[in-house]
Chain A
Amino acid sequence: DSGVTQTPKHLITATGQRVTLRCSPRSGDLSVYWYQQSLDQGLQFLIQYYNGEERAKGNILERFSAQQFPDLHSELNLSSLELGDSALYFCASSAPLGGAEDTQYFGPGTRLTVL
């Protein structure tokens, strides 16, 4: 158990809908990262938040948004869902800075299926 929690574990929805994925980082970690893992794209970095602020951005679609709240949990919002958004979405967290503490620990993931 990495200490990172994600809810829900599975999500099935229809095209055009909007969903929210939730992540709670490990105790003490300030950074939260979101990744998408699909069969054709592999593991793709989406976005990073550090202590409530956006710090790095990857291949995140405009239909997707995220935020990190004062209690450090984070939410990833996916809207106008398309079939191609079906994937495993991971959240990871890490301690602030430096050395091995930069290691990102992953949550169990949320499997999103868009029908």
Chain B
Amino acid sequence: AQKITQTQPGMFVQEKEAVTLDCTYDTSDQSYGLFWYKQPSSGEMIFLIYQGSYDEQNATEGRYSLNFQKARKSANLVISASQLGDSAMYFCAMREPQYSSASKIIFGSGTRLSIRP
């Protein structure tokens, strides 16, 4: 069965530092998609970045990059030059099968990131 594991319940980081949020996944499918979402205290779920299982290059979106290591089944989120507004809950998620109109996303338990000024 597919599973997403986020082992860091909470992290504190100094402003302007880079931060890595860990995510490992388990799936028997060859085709899957990996996502990171941000949930600030206001509650909305904000899509950050996507990585397909067949993508050879790591995904990047502005200050966000996804360190995808397929053999290790890890998909860590890297936030460069952290800002106070990055303080939020971050969820790693997986969708399988990747290309289908019938698939679901499962979420990890999340990491609460707090940025110190």
- Residue among B50, B101, B102 facing the most chain A CB atoms (10 A cut-off): B101
Q: With A and B bound together, what is the CA distance between A99 and B99 in angstroms?
A: 7
Q: For B105, what are the chain A residues with a Cβ–Cβ distance below 8 Å?
A: 33, 45, 92, 104
Give B residues with C-beta under 8 Å from A: 33, 35, 37, 43-47, 50, 52, 91, 95, 98-107, 109-110
Contact status A88-B43, CB under 8 Å: yes
Q: With A and B bound together, what is the CA distance between A28 and B99 in angstroms?
A: 18
Among A50-58, A62-70, A76-84, the stretch in contact with B? A50-58
Sample (7) of A-B pairs whose CB atoms are under 8 Å apart: A30-B101, A43-B107, A48-B104, A88-B43, A96-B101, A104-B105, A105-B47
Given known A88-B43, A106-B45, A106-B47, contact A42–B104 (CB-CB < 8 A): no
Q: How far is the CB of A28 from chain B (nearest CB, A)?
A: 14
Give A residues with C-beta under 8 Å from B: 2, 30-31, 33, 42-43, 45, 48, 50, 55-56, 58, 88, 90, 92, 96-100, 102-109, 111
Q: For A98, what are the chain B residues with a Cβ–Cβ distance below 8 Å?
A: 99
Q: With A and B bound together, what is the CA distance between A96 and B100 in angstroms?
A: 8
Q: For A58, what are the chain B residues with a Cβ–Cβ distance below 8 Å?
A: 104
